[in-house]
């Protein structure tokens, strides 16, 4: 039977991030977002730490999730993907390129979260309608662009992926 971890007990947390095994060390209360950042995945941004802004969105087993609303210990045994996984070597991946093409970013702080949100959503719903995409994109907050470019980037990426899945 599983035992208790004491509040200040830092435990080894085995995570799989972007296909690589990682061992983070975290006490129970450490959020997954903080643990990922401590592991060097600083693309996971903290905009609110209460699950509203979405800047910390990552994929857990392919699903877009707010990593500030998970404990690091809950990440054990799950496949985690961050924005680093979208790059094609040193080049941008297709979704990132669609963001660039559509002026879907300015300050860039919300960008990794939006990228993972859209990547995860379109894996789940590859044939999503425009309305569904708008609703999915409304999960996260962007303060610079007005979000219209982000929706267009998602639509462009959807058609790119349809052509060459």
Partner 1 sequence: MTTAHGPLIGVSAPRRKNLELLAGKATYVADIGLEGQAYARVVRSSSAHARLLGVDCSDALRVPGVLDVITAADIDDIRIPIRLPFAESPEANRALQAPLARDVVRYVGEPVAVVVATDPYVAEDAAELVLVDLEEMDPVVDTATAGEPGRPRLHSSLGSNTVNQLAFRYGDIDAAFAEADIVVRRRLRVHRLAAAPMETRGLVADYDRNSGVLTLWGGAKVKHFTRSLLARVLGLEPDKVRVVEVEVGGGFGTRGEPYPEDVLIAWLARRLERPVQWIEDRWEHMVATNHAREQEHDIELAATAEGQMLGFRVRGWCDHGAYIRTQGLLPVVLPMLHMPGPYQWQAFSMDLDAVLTNRTPVGTYRGPGMTEATFVRERMVDILAAELHMDPADLRRRNLIPAESMPFVFNPGPGSSGVMPIAYQSGDFVESFDEMLAAADYHELRAGRQRARSRDGKAGVGMAVYIEFAAVGPFEEVDIICDGRGVTVRAGVGSVGQGVETALAQIAAELLGAELEDVSVEFHDTAEIPQGFGAFASRSTVLVGNAIAAAVNEIRIKSAELLGCGPDGIELHRGNATGPDGRTVPLAELGGVRGRFDKDGLTASFGGAVCSASVDPADGRVRLDRFLVAHDVGRAVNPRLLRGQLAGAASQGIGGALFEELAYDDNGQPLSVTLADYMMPTAAELTPVDLAVIEHGSPSNPLGIKGGGEAGMVGSLGAVVNAVADAIGDGADLLSSSVSPARVWRALNHQSSLDGAGRPAMET
Partner 2 sequence: MKPAPFAYAAAESLEEVLALLGEAGDDAKLLAGGQSLLPLLAYRLARPSHVIDIGAVPALDAIDERDGRLRVGALVRHAALERCELNGRWQAVREAAALIGHLPIRMRGTLGGSLAHADPAGELGVVATALDADIVLRSVRGERTVPAAEFFIAPLITAAAPDEVLVEARFTAPAGGFRSVFEEFSPRVGDFAYASVAAGCRVDADGAAHDVRIALGSVGPTPIRASAAEESLTGSALHDAAIAECARMAATACDPSAGDWHADGEYRRALVASLVERALTRLRDTP
**Binding interface with partner 2 (CB under 8 A):** 1-8, 27-29, 31, 34, 49-51, 54, 57, 60, 63-66, 68-71, 73-74, 117, 120-121, 135-136, 138-140
* Closest distance of CB 144 from partner 1, Å: 5
| Whether 137 contacts 151, CB under 8 Å | yes
Query: First and final CA of the chain: distance in angstroms?
Result: 44
Residue 150 interface partner, choices partner 2, partner 1, none, CB cut-off 5-8 Å depending on type = partner 1
Q: Which is nearer to partner 1, 73 or 134 (CB)?
A: 134
- Find the radius of gyration of the CA atoms of the chain: 16
Q: Which is nearer to partner 1, 40 or 77 (CB)?
A: 40
**114 forms bridges with which residues in the sheet?**
none
The tally of CA atoms less than 13 A away on the side-chain side of residue 63 is 5
Q: Does residue number 65 form part of the binding site for partner 1 (CB under 8 A)? A: no
* Closest distance of CB 23 from partner 2, Å: 17
Which sign, positive or negative, has the C-alpha torsion 143, 68, 157, 132? Answer: negative
Q: Does residue number 74 form part of the binding site for partner 1 (CB under 8 A)? A: no
């Amino acid at each position: 039977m599983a035992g208790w971890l004491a509040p200040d007990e830092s435990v080894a947390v085995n995570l799989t991030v972007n296909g690589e095994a990682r061992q983070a060390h975290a006490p129970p209360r450490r959020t997954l977002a903080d643990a990922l950042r401590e592991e060097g995945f600083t693309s996971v941004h903290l905009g609110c730490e209460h699950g509203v802004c979405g800047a910390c969105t990552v994929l857990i087993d392919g699903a877009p999730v707010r990593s500030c609303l998970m404990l690091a210990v809950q990440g054990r045994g799950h496949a985690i993907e961050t924005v680093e996984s979208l790059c094609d070597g040193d080049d941008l991946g297709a979704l990132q390129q669609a963001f660039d093409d559509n002026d879907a970013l300015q300050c860039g702080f919300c960008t990794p979260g939006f990228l993972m949100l859209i990547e995860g959503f379109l894996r789940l719903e590859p044939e999503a309608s425009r309305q569904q995409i708008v609703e999915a994109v409304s999960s996260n907050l962007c303060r610079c662009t007005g979000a219209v470019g982000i929706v267009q980037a998602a639509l462009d990426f959807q058609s790119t992926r349809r052509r060459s899945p």
